[in-house]
């Protein structure tokens, strides 16, 4: 990463914290570390998703930063205690980074950057993707330019990201309480197609292929049940799949 890229990541994360957002990244050297530090410097919270067990912090140079993240946010990992970092674990954890987020911002990225994996996971999960443009002669800008060509939102300031995501933040804060959610499920027979599907759906969009795995139902049954639930005002279709309302 470049010095300018790290400064941008730090400044963007600080702005996000000032507007009530949590910054999620991977605790790697460079952009990741700058984003975590920027969020905490502004008094905000940050989440670091690790590619190993929670009993260690990698890389060693970010050990102190990781301890600060624990105090001002959280370390998250899908790997059991004792699992050491391996090369294939880093792209694998990127889906968790995007999954925990309302949107993914790529500040700098070469064409083979792991950030592009996170961005592609974000698209599959129905998240917003933002990219900062750079010089056409800068190898660290080519990944961002590729994302923009493929539909990512071009942003030049952190405020542009905030303006795009703020309505989503309001939506998340107004999500129904668990008791209300249970009442919605009880409206249908628990073993009915609609009941099983509603129990599997969340308030963020879920793709149909994921619903197949969650419910064990076939695509045809899921599609027909979704139509009924949509007519009843229980679900709605959004970019990335279906969600409860």
Q: 187-241 pLDDT, tens per residue? A: 566 568 888 888 888 888 898 888 988 888 888 888 888 888 887 888 888 888 8
Q: What are the start-end ranges of the H helices in 42-190?
A: 63-72, 89-99, 114-124, 142-149, 158-173, 178-186
Q: What is the pTM of this model?
A: 0.69
User: Are the folds of 3-176 and 193-244 the same?
Assistant: no
Residues 103-132, mean pLDDT to the nearest whole number: 94
Calculate mean pLDDT across residues 67-72: 95
Q: If pLDDT is split at 50, 70 and 90, which confidence band does 186 have? A: low
CATH number for the domain running over 3-176? 3.40.50.450
Which pLDDT score is estimated for 178? 44
Task: Evaluate whether 119 touches 150 at the Cβ level (below 8 Å).
Answer: no
Instruction: State the helix-helix crossing angle for 178-186 and 193-200, rounded to 10 degrees.
Output: 160
Determine which helix (DSSP H) or strand (DSSP E) holds 105, and give its type and residue range: strand 103-106
What mean pLDDT is predicted for residues 104-116? 94
Q: Which of 135, 74, 128, 72 is nearest to 105 (CA)?
A: 128
Return the closest-CA partner of residue 169 out of 19, 57, 25, 12: 19
Return the bridge partners of 130, or none: 105, 153
> Taking a C-beta distance cutoff of 8 angstroms, is the pair 34, 7 a contact?
yes
In words, the CATH class of domain 193-244 is mainly alpha
**Domain residue spans of the chain:** 3-176, 193-244
Would you say 48 and 63 are in contact if contact means Cβ atoms under 8 Å apart? Answer: no
Separation CA 56–CA 60 (nearest Å) = 9
At 174, the pLDDT band (50, 70, 90 cuts) reads: very low
Bridge partners for 106 per DSSP: 131
Residues 33-44 pLDDT 10s: 999 999 999 999
């Amino acid at each position: 990463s470049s010095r300018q890229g790290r400064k941008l990541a730090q400044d963007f994360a600080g702005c996000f914290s000032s507007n009530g957002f949590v910054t999620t990244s991977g605790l790697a050297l460079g952009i990741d570390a700058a984003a975590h530090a920027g969020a905490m410097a502004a008094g905000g919270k940050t989440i670091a998703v690790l590619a190993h067990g929670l009993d260690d912090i990698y890389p060693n140079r970010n050990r102190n930063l990781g301890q600060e993240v624990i105090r001002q946010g959280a370390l998250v990992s899908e790997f059991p205690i004792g699992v050491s970092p391996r090369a294939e674990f880093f792209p694998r954890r990127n889906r968790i980074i995007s999954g925990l987020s309302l949107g993914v911002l790529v500040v700098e990225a070469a064409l083979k950057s792991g950030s592009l994996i996170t961005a592609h996971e974000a698209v599959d999960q129905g998240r917003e993707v933002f990219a900062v443009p750079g010089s056409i002669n800068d190898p660290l800008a080519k990944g961002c330019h590729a994302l923009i060509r493929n539909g990512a939102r071009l942003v030049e300031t952190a405020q542009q990201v905030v303006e795009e995501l703020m309505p989503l933040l309001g939506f998340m804060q107004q999500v129904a309480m668990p008791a209300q959610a249970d009442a919605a499920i009880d409206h249908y027979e628990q073993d009915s197609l609609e009941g099983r599907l509603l129990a599997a759906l969340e308030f963020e969009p879920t793709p149909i292929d994921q619903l197949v795995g969650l419910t064990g139902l076939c695509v045809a049954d899921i599609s027909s049940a979704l139509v009924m639930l949509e007519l009843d005002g229980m679900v709605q279709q959004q970019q990335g799949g279906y969600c409860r309302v």
